[in-house]
Amino acid sequence: MEPVRTCVGCRQRASQKAMLRVNDVENRLVFNSDGGPKGRGAWLHPSSKCLKLAIERKAFGRALKSDRQLDASALITYIEQVETMLATNE
C-alpha cells in the first residue's frame, strides 16, 4: 500500500506520489525533488491554492518545527511553473 500524507495547506490526505515534499534549507522553502535533505519535511499538493493556505496559516513553520521566518519565493515560483505546464498539457 502506498503511503498517505496530509497537505499542510488544505489538510486533505492524498498519496505520497500526488504531493510535493518541502524542506527548509537555510531559511528557504524548497521542493525536495530527489529525496534531498533527510529529516523533517512538509507535504503539499502542487497547487497555488494549497500553497497560499499553508502560507496564510503559517503551517510550514509548524510542520518543519521552525520558529524563523521562511522564504517561500522559490516554492511559489516552482508551483506557478507546475501549474503552467499542467495547463498547457490539457
Q: Where are the domains of the chain?
A: 4-89
| CATH annotation of 4-89 | 3.30.1230.10
| Phi-psi domain of 58 (left: phi exceeds 0; alpha: psi -120 through 50; beta: other) | left
Q: Are 47 and 79 in contact (CB under 8 A)?
A: yes
Instruction: Indicate the pLDDT class of residue 36, thresholds 50, 70 and 90.
Output: low
CA distance 29 to 32: 9
Q: Are 74 and 22 in contact (CB under 8 A)?
A: no
For residue 10, pLDDT over 80 is answered with yes
Mean pLDDT of 59-71: 93
For residue 42, pLDDT over 80 is answered with yes
